[in-house]
Amino acid sequence: MQREDIFEGLKDILKQIKPSMDLSAVNEDSQLVRDVGLDSLTILLLSLAVENKFGFKFEGNPKFTTVSEVLDYICSHTTL
C-alpha cells in the first residue's frame, strides 16, 4: 500500500471522527491537536479506527503530534 493511499484512508477516518471538519487543509505537517482539532477522546477513537482499518495493534502508547508521525507509524506496521 502506498503512503498516499494510507493518507487517504487516514483522512477517511478523520472524517468519520469529526464529520464537520474541513479536510482540504489537512496535510502531513498538520498538528493533530492544533490544526486538526483532536482531543484525548478523538485521539483514542482515531487509534482504534486506525487499528481496525490497517490491521495492526499499536505497541505501547505511542505519542503522535503530527499527521506525518501517524502515517510513518502505519507505514512501518501495516501488512496491507
Binned at pLDDT 50, 70 and 90, residue 80 comes out as low
Q: What is the pLDDT of residue 72?
A: 95
pTM of the predicted model over 0.85: yes
DSSP per position, 34-71: TTT---HHHHHHHHHHHHHHHT----S-----BHHHHH
Q: Which amino acid is at 15?
A: K
Q: What's the pLDDT tens digit per position in 45-66?
A: 999 999 999 999 988 888 899 9
Rounded Cα distance between 42 and 37, Å, is 9
Q: What's the pLDDT tens digit per position in 4-32?
A: 999 999 999 999 999 988 889 899 999 99
Query: Where along the chain do its domains lie?
Result: 3-77
Which CATH superfamily, name and number, covers 3-77? ACP-like (1.10.1200.10)
